A and B are shown apart, each in its own frame.
Chain A
Amino acid sequence: MADTSKPATRKAAIVGGNRIPFARSNSAYAQASNQDMLTATIDGLVARFGLQDKQLGEVVAGAVLKHARDFNLTRESVLGSKLSATTPAYDVQQACGTGLEAAILVANKIALGQIESGIAGGVDTTSDAPLAVSDDLRRVLISLNNAKTVQDRLKALAKIRPGMIAPEIPRNAEPRTGLAMGDHAAITAKEWEIGREEQDELAVRSHHNMAAAYDRGFFDDLVTPFLGLSRDNNLRPDSSLEKLSTLKPVFGKGDPAATMTAGNSTPLTDGASTVLLASDEWAAENGLPVLAHLVDAQTAAVDYVHGGEGLLMAPVYAMPVMLARNGLTLQDFDYYEIHEAFASTVLATMKAWEDPAFCKGKLGLDSPLGPIDRSKLNVNGSSLAAGHPFAATGGRIVAQLAKMLHEKGPGSRGLISICAAGGQGVVAILES
């Protein structure tokens, strides 16, 4: 009889990371493509860890907004990088969960002993976004391309109508509801009675925390400058409640009680991030540090279309499953990294975990997960300060948290929670 026992697993080590500074849409990286940014980010990681000409087990990365020509984005970036050209690569895409999901995929292969080392990453540009022609025009152009005679070509061309010419611009909206993500978040914010001031406070703290982290050199070994930028250009060290309170709501418009502004929501952002993962043995052989291990992860999805749940609430559901599997409570962590897609999302997520009725009714828990210590939340800033290039956020958080845990010392634990379009969410546990 075949041996059906599971192979022994090990925990994948996080060796370090690299990202380029994030740039607001149509600013410093307006002329850079996803491939430019991902390649530069991989090369920065190569330089930091001396990976020149090394064949790694795998490079896994993705982008949310992608040109058709970028079907093999990650492999093309590897070929353009200083890594050995014999390093395999593939693309993944799970909206804003892409970066973290990529890290989980690499970590799992390491855990299973299928690879010894790998890079997980993500990149997005909203500046160099793909424009598509309308479906009608596309059909005409395809038949034109297929036409073999001049007559057929003319026939095909004759079908073009002026109305077909307008390009389709990618929208930051859910295909099934037509609502912008921010408008979805505004619904949730209203449901959970998340106030304007607490959102602004969270945003100010994010800016101040990240500015302080830059000032004390925390990002020196996490970020490599790119195209003249050495810090995220969305970062406002002098952000204040007074300044944020003057902004007008941009989501949930029409509601006089709308709370979500450009100040407490992330802007469209360009950028890329990477994380180097490995087995402990590989790290030791290469003289590289182990900052933390990726202990476990969980993905969940909610039916935001018909199920009456908020678009960005899936991490709320993923968390108790992962905690129970690891015998941990929500309070057993030294640091919490809750992705700040919108300040209201972070606040609604925490409120839901504290709510007995919700935890019992929706999560099936006897008691709520309870509160988390706010002084341990996003202590070096998060997406409201850095900006949020969709697929690059996961890598930013994993590398940043791993370094924090390494500094905190052995046995320290960190929690990641990332919400994603399509009603999905990814959570993970890191441990030093």
Chain B
Amino acid sequence: MSDWYRDFANSGFGTTLVKQLGLPRPAVLRRFEPGQPLLPGPAIIGSAGEGRLREALTELLRAEGVHVQSPVTADGATDGEKPAAVILDATGLRTPGDLASAHDFLSPAVKRLRATGRVLILADPPSDADSPAQAAARQALDGLVRSMAKELRGGSTANLVHVPEGAEASIASPVRFFLSGRSAYVDGQVMSVSPAELPKADDDEQLLAGKVAVVTGAARGIGAAIAKVMARDGAHVVAVDIPAAGDKLAEVANEIGGTALQLDITAADAPQRLIEHLRERHGGVDVVVHNAGITRDKLLVNMDAARWNSVMAVNLQAQLDITQALLDTEGALKPNARVVCVSSQSGIAGNRGQTNYAASKAGVIGMVRAWAPQFAERGATINAVAPGFIVTEMTAKMPFGTREVGSRINSLQQGGLPVDVAETIAWLSQPGSGGVNGQTVRVCGQSMLGA
């Protein structure tokens, strides 16, 4: 589905017109393509205080073939090319006063940031601070990043990663994600990593090679996009959907060289049938993506029990039951398994007419947070993604006005694509993402809803 306004605003005449009218000009986002370098240009790394990550960050970027520039000096001197990424190691922050150095580094560097650039800040979590002053300084970064994300133009994003002491080794995977085109529609977000045992360096192109990934609701829309991205990254995808969607499901499976499994995930024996299938065919499963979801919208006062119950059954209870069965069945989850659950912006911000849907999607967020420690014990992770306005067949049927407003009220001034959600899920599924656990990552272009 094309974004007619974005295309127009980026055409020769359109650019002039929207500028003169003072209208927003949504950028063409930088999305991932296999073989693409991590960044389309150099990166600048700076620190606020005595950070402990700068060296590791520099090494990581150099290993990716990224040229690392010196910070822009006070007199504006630079070493040439405009940066594609500005990275701040803020792990040295002690007091709000130290934030001045963050400003001194970011202000000139971000000014030079090229379109589709990335600003990434790494800092300790405020909850681990030694003093109220340190907590204040760390928390201040939230406001800084979220505001920067709103100021950036040209499809650039800004995000913050909390790195507690001892979790330094976990940063590689999130840093790669946030700098790459995979995070195109993830903007203004704050997330945490935790200490984890991580496998040796990955082959960047086939991050999921040899992995078996289940994707529910894979017959169309976001689910089909997830299946395609997982397969592109090397996974064998077991595409699951209700029997009535079996023909579309078979098409998806055949396109990506996966297999189709027709299954109503709300059936009482669904967890058992899924696990039997996975054990018989694949000896277990590495990645489970709980994507299947339905909407049955009505205002609460008009909502019957059937609408409430069916949404809860598909969107929340099935995720709980299948995950629990996977945990309980010896050998069902392979070592370092990854479970990714699809939540929704509605689960964070709420949405009129969606009490059932929003409740189920908020429930998912609570579920992954609660399960994370148990998953960590076995070297596994469980996370959620919360898509914002994603352009699908479903949104194409919305009234024009609702759709246009819905898609523009975010910092990137456009709707996301199913592939944006899929890329985020594929990243959380990587073996190297073991340090990301219990998180809910919003894929919403920094939506104003629930921000």
Contact = CB atoms under 8 A, between A and B. Distances in A.
The judgment on whether A and B are partners is: yes
A46 B254 CA distance: 7
A48 B280 contact: no
Given A219-B243, A287-B281, A289-B281, A50 B250 contact: no
A225 B245 contact: yes
B244 interface: yes
A47 B253 contact: yes
Given A43-B250, A50-B259, A53-B257, A217 B281 contact: no
Contacts of B258: 47, 50
Nearest to B263: A220
Interface string B227-262: 000000000100000011111011101100111111
Given A48-B259, A53-B257, A289-B281, A217 B264 contact: yes
Interface string A214-228: 000101110111100
A289 B280 contact: yes
Contacts of A224: 246-247, 250, 260, 262
B282 interface: yes
B267 interface: yes
A82 B254 contact: yes
B261 A221 contact: yes
A292 to B, nearest CB: 15
A48 B254 CA distance: 9
B243 A217 contact: yes
Nearest to A53: B257
Contacts of A288: 281
A47 B243 contact: no
Given A43-B250, A44-B250, A224-B250, A230 B257 contact: no
B259 A49 contact: yes
Interface centre among A44, A47, A53, A225 (most CB of B within 10 A): A47
Contacts of B281: 287-289
Contacts of A27: none
B254 A43 contact: yes
A48 B257 CA distance: 11
Interface string A357-371: 000000000000000
B150 to A, nearest CB: 45
Given A219-B243, A221-B262, A47 B280 contact: no
A82 B259 CA distance: 13
A48 B260 contact: yes
A230 B259 contact: no
A52 interface: yes
Contacts of A223: 243, 246
A79 to B, nearest CB: 15
Interface in A38-63: 40, 43-44, 46-50, 52-53
A225 B282 contact: no
A47 B244 contact: no
Interface of B: 236, 243-247, 249-251, 253-254, 257-264, 267, 269, 273, 280-283
18 contacts: A40-B247, A44-B246, A44-B250, A44-B260, A48-B259, A50-B253, A50-B259, A53-B257, A217-B243, A217-B263, A217-B273, A219-B243, A221-B261, A225-B245, A226-B247, A230-B246, A287-B281, A288-B281
Interface of A: 40, 43-44, 46-50, 52-53, 82, 217, 219-221, 223-226, 230, 287-289
